[in-house]
Chains A and B, each alone.
Chain A
Amino acid sequence: MIRLWLKGTVTARWRHLLAAGAGIACATALIGLIGVFGISSARTMTSRALSAVPVDWQVALVPGANPGELTKKLRDAAPVRAVATIGYADTVALSSKTRESTQTTGSGQVLGLPPDYQLLFPGQIRPLLGASSGVLLAQQTAANLHATVGSIVTVASVGAAPFDVTVAGIIDLPNADALFQVIGPQRGASPTAPPDNVIMLPDPIWRTHFGEAARLAGGGARLQLHVGLDHARLPAAPDVAFATTTGMAKNFEVRAAGEAVVGDNISARLDAVRQDALLARILLLFLGLPGAVLALLLTISVVRADSVRRRHDFALLSLRGAGAAQVVSLVAVETMVVSLLAVSFGVAASIALSRLALHVDVGIYGTAAWLSVTAFAAIAVSSLAVIGPVVADLRQSSVSGRRMWLPIEHAASWERGKLDIVLLLLAALIYWRSASTGYQLVLAPEGVASTAVDYTAFLAPLLFWLGAGLVTIRLGRALLRRAGSWLPKMLSPLSGRLSTLTSSSLIRQRSRLASGMALIAIAASFAVATTVFNSTYRSQQLVDARLTTGADVAVTGTTAIPAGAALSRISTITGVLAAEPMQHRFAYVGKDLQDLFGIDPVRITNATDIVDGYFSNIGAREALARLSRQRDGILVSQETVNDFQLAIGDLLNLRMRAADGSEKTVAFHLVGVVKEFPTAPRDSFLVANARYVADQTGANQEETVLIRADGSTAVLAQRIRESLGTSPPLKVTDISQAAHLIGSSLTAVDLATLGAVELGFAALFVAMATGLILWLGQSERTKSNAILLSLGASRREVRSFIWSETLIVAGIGLPAGALIGVIDAWMLVRLLSGVFDPPPDYLNFPLGSLSFMFVGAIAAVALSVLAQSAWTKDGIARELRS
């Protein structure tokens, strides 16, 4: 019987099975794809973060501790890839003799390195000149000593006789801050600066001179174990990896209590990116889940669209004695077959799109597991989505009831309970709660392993979306119920003399039509929200990059060699739309040394965008106008305002370096609060009038030039580099470089490809919602169309019936969807303020993509009408006999 049922179903209802399968496959593909992207982007964030850490742990040994035993304990506590024992010794001075004179430095550090250190920890030392092994001298120290390869340097250490070494190579220490960090409890509140003078010796030489001192407390020498962990064995997600590495470090410290303390570089780095990773997860949830919900709603709608015919089937089965259990079992088998096939297609599409569009390897454990879970969940949920409406059909009280073509209109339970209103109110409440906490969705306190993610905030746009969909049903039905007076007139140009009857028919079918409107509305709103959000995200990515670079292209110099000196030359380069100089000085606010940017508030916007999001409580135009009006005005960062309890109008006396090198106090008045500014650091900085700063300090040089490009920024940057030559150390950067360099920022997660894929899905959903739902209704309308033709109606007259329905459903559904989508996108952008740096001033509407979506929907509508109009005479005769 099951085989017979399946055969009959495939033959008679292949269209519905195909459509239901398409919905399930789309949901599976979208969820699978977004999950794979999420896992891979988290993995990318983790690996990008870890690649910036040359040494994962620096284990400081107490004097007398055995490095061999501690290495064993390390290997027990963590997946260790490499361990090296490094000696650190204090030196009171380094000196070097040249022909003319003897150069002597201040205190410094003497490191003892094993021969394979650079092999084990690449990136810690960057050879600049000469050999990469032997005695290595840091670049700054070499400059201080006027030493080069072959020079003899005398090391004067604490508690040991001075000794001479011959320099084999000059090196750079890009990771000096971590290399010379104070491990364990620190003296003082501020971090210790790396030493000015560093020399590195081969391990045997270091042991000869400092080996004994390292065994004694206060001997001026100590040992560290530099540890590299096996990153492949760390979890992919930064937050989980952070918890793991922190736990392992603590575990080791417990094992080595009293012998060693861990300087946990890897956890510190992961700590910095895990908040971004959590935001990324939320972002993907925001983008993915509505799509999956929509695909399931489409599937349910497809199943429901077949309900009339199915009710007839059930009525026949019931008449022939089949019980409800038998009917459900038949449908269950049908569902399982469709689900399995559709989910297989969906997973295959996920894999193909992941590989081809996102270039992600789906073979790795995390993604494979995700796809498996997605597949099982999709089968379970889609089975429920199909069987649910069928069971609802079976609950119809009688066989005759199941045969009803036009179900008796009654308010659904959600309508009676005003669920739509409740959902909208809940959405507003949750949104208000998130807004009141400053849209703080992710809480990852620095150094604390546990994190808190406010996933409930996501409910605001989701509930609004669903509530608005239900409101569309309510309003659509109410609108059609009262359409008797205006609908015939509206349809008159299309239906002619049939407009009154067409209107009556549409008004009676208002429940079905309102559901269609709502489905189209939520599909269109998903498309609009996704498109607008992705576009806003992309444009904000540019703003972020521009914020980091300062402008499309920036030329940065120093006070000694200011970029402003090259302004006239830069301005004449082809592709420069505008170039404006900017001072970059430093000023003491109390004891804090802060960056100070001197600008021309009237002209700066020629070269770069100054947006409202950069300022607190005032717009960009007003902030710059205040600065322009008040010569000694100053914009102060929020952090400084908080720290020093400042208010608008307050006098600020800043200590600055004058042109003659002396320190001078300059008086400013606070005119506004600034949160972000081109090239400025994220915490504390100041923005003032460049002319005032120049007048007060006597130094009128401008260290930076900001450039607005006409065309490719990378090409222009290269042209500027060529024009400036290599002799002056002016650094030229452009926004395309910055976009790649922002490693810790979430906006570094490249949503462009995922956005394009999502746009494709959104277009597909809109097309499915509009075209498919109308097309699927054909099975109900075929008979009516055949009757009309048998009554002598022309094809044009029958088509006018179809067009009327289509125009009503799509004509109300699409604009409603656009409105819901814009509100949803606005809500998403506001809720995800934390993702943006700075938050955008306004939504970005990509007219091209939106037009593509709109034209796609119209094309789907037209195709569905054409498909319904493609009847044959034989088909009509067959339909009339059925």
Chain B
Amino acid sequence: MIATHSQAIAAQATRIVRIVDGRIIAADVLAATDGVPKVNRSIREQRDGAILVAAHDLSRSFASGDRSFRAISSVDFSIRAGQSIALVGRSGSGKSTLLNLMAGLVDADQPGSMSWPGFDESRPLRPQQIAMVFQAPSLIPALSVIENVRLPLELAGSNSVDFLDPMQVMHSLSISDLAEKLPDQLSGGQMQRVAIARALVTRPKLLLADEPTGQLDRATAHEVVGALLKAVAAIGATLVVATHDQAVAVEMEEQWTIERGRLAVSPNERDAA
């Protein structure tokens, strides 16, 4: 007996039993969650297309014992405002490292470079500039849901008129009734919705999502992706999603494939083509 949310693994089984809300059902529930809303093109067209992030000969190595391995190797790209990009690749291909480099969470190896022309270069990772959503639950466990969502506002200075109302964002993600709950009391899907709400509340220009549905079953993953795209479209943010799930990838305008630390098709080459 194998418990999985992977359709590929499920296809190998002689019998499939689906569980929804703790009850075994016979029907295929995926049909109900298909049809994730596409990004609102009209909003995207209003973007000026300015470069937010650019990389030149970007590399990053990590030490493992007395050896080192290259997670990212000589990558060039630029991300313009309004793009939605799926960063596709197998586990260990370098997707997360590339996202961390984009966010400025880790530093690039010399002589390659990473620049953020669209942001304050000295500290690009600020609530109103770049926001991140991670694969693992990333809520502060001692803060309630509403406090977690409000946290970036406090960090950014909550008096800005550009920011969204946390309760409205939560309402749009269907988690407003969870406001006073603690992260320990939430399911994985609920936690990711809260993480998305927290990422969006300051209207970031760039949202980086690292396998946001990696720990969710397919039905919940679709719900979360749907909610993410809808919210991103609403605020007009640029979106980069690292995923190995093709179903998620196809929802983005562009798919960048990464293999062994290299972008299989260079975005710049493709642009040139």
Contact = CB atoms under 8 A, between A and B. Distances in A.
Nearest to A498: B154
A82 to B, nearest CB: 73
A877 B141 contact: no
A504 interface: yes
Contact of B155 (A405, A783, A793): A793
Interface stretch (B17-25, B43-51, B144-152, B162-170): B144-152
A682 to B, nearest CB: 63
Nearest to B62: A874
A187 B1 CA distance: 102
Interface string A484-524: 00000000000001101100111011000000000000000
B152 A791 contact: yes
B135 interface: yes
Interface string A282-319: 00000000000000000000000000000000000000
A445 to B, nearest CB: 62
A37 B158 CA distance: 63
Contacts of A504: 142-144, 147
A737 interface: no
Contact of B105 (A498, A793, A877): A877
Interface stretch (B109-117, B123-131, B223-231): B123-131
A793 B154 CA distance: 10
Contacts of A508: 142-143, 182
Interface in A394-410: 403-406
Interface string A842-878: 0000000000000000000000000000000110110
A880 B210 CA distance: 10
Contact of A784 (B107, B142, B184, B210): B142
B96 interface: yes
A504 B144 CA distance: 9
A497 B151 contact: no
Contacts of B132: 790-791
B105 A790 contact: yes
Given A405-B183, A406-B184, A873-B106, A787 B140 contact: yes
A498 B141 contact: no
Contacts of B150: 501
B131 to A, nearest CB: 8
B126 A497 contact: no
A792 B142 contact: no
Contacts of B184: 403-406
A501 B151 contact: yes
Nearest to B182: A406
A108 B152 CA distance: 104
Nearest to A495: B154
A413 interface: no
Nearest to A872: B106
A881 interface: yes
B157 interface: yes
B134 A881 contact: yes
Interface in A778-797: 783-784, 787-794, 797
A873 B62 CA distance: 12
Interface string B76-112: 0000000000000000000011001001011100000
Given A406-B184, A501-B147, A873-B106, A790 B142 contact: no
B89 to A, nearest CB: 15
A787 B138 contact: yes
Contacts of A797: 155
Contacts of B29: none
Nearest to A401: B184
B142 to A, nearest CB: 4
A208 interface: no
A497 B158 contact: yes
Contacts of B100: 877
A882 to B, nearest CB: 7
B136 interface: yes
B127 A880 contact: no
B156 interface: yes
Contacts of B129: 792
B139 interface: yes
A845 B130 CA distance: 57
A791 B106 contact: no
B218 interface: no
Interface residues of A, number: 31
B138 A497 contact: no
A570 B184 CA distance: 82
B198 interface: yes
Contacts of A789: 105, 125
Given A504-B143, A877-B100, A880-B136, A792 B156 contact: yes
Contacts of B154: 497-498, 500-501
A874 B107 CA distance: 8
B140 A505 contact: yes
Interface string B199-240: 000000000001000000000000000000000000000000
A326 B129 CA distance: 49
B134 A784 contact: no
A501 B129 CA distance: 22
Interface in B37-84: 62
B62 A880 contact: no
Contacts of A874: 62, 106
Given A790-B125, A874-B106, A876-B105, A881 B143 contact: no
Given A406-B182, A880-B136, A791 B157 contact: no
A881 B138 CA distance: 9
A163 B158 CA distance: 119
Contacts of B131: 791-792
Contact of A877 (B106, B140, B156): B106
A876 B123 CA distance: 16
A387 B262 CA distance: 49
B157 to A, nearest CB: 7
A591 B265 CA distance: 119
Contacts of A406: 141-142, 182, 184
Given A405-B184, A501-B150, A501-B154, A790 B103 contact: yes
Residue in B135, B151, B152 with the greatest tally of chain A CB atoms within 10 Å: B151
A205 B97 CA distance: 109
Contacts of B130: 792
Contacts of A880: 105, 134, 136, 138
A509 B142 CA distance: 7
A791 B134 contact: no
Contacts of A877: 96-97, 100, 105-106
B158 A881 contact: no
Given A792-B125, A792-B126, A877-B100, A501 B107 contact: no
A879 B60 CA distance: 18
A787 B155 contact: no
Contacts of B147: 501, 504-505
Contacts of B97: 877
A447 to B, nearest CB: 68
Interface in A791-820: 791-794, 797
Given A790-B134, A791-B127, A784 B105 contact: no
Contacts of A404: 184
Interface in B161-193: 182-184
Contacts of B144: 504
Contacts of B62: 874
Given A792-B126, A873-B105, 13 more contacts: A406-B184, A501-B151, A504-B142, A504-B144, A505-B142, A508-B182, A784-B140, A787-B139, A791-B127, A791-B131, A877-B96, A881-B210, A882-B136
13 contacts: A406-B141, A501-B147, A501-B151, A504-B143, A505-B142, A508-B142, A791-B132, A791-B151, A792-B156, A877-B106, A880-B136, A880-B138, A882-B136
Q: Which 9 pairs, one residue from A and one from B, show the smallest C-beta to C-beta distance?
A: A405-B141, A505-B142, A792-B126, A792-B127, A508-B142, A877-B100, A404-B184, A873-B106, A784-B140
Interface of A: 403-406, 497-498, 500-501, 504-506, 508-509, 783-784, 787-794, 797, 873-874, 876-877, 880-882
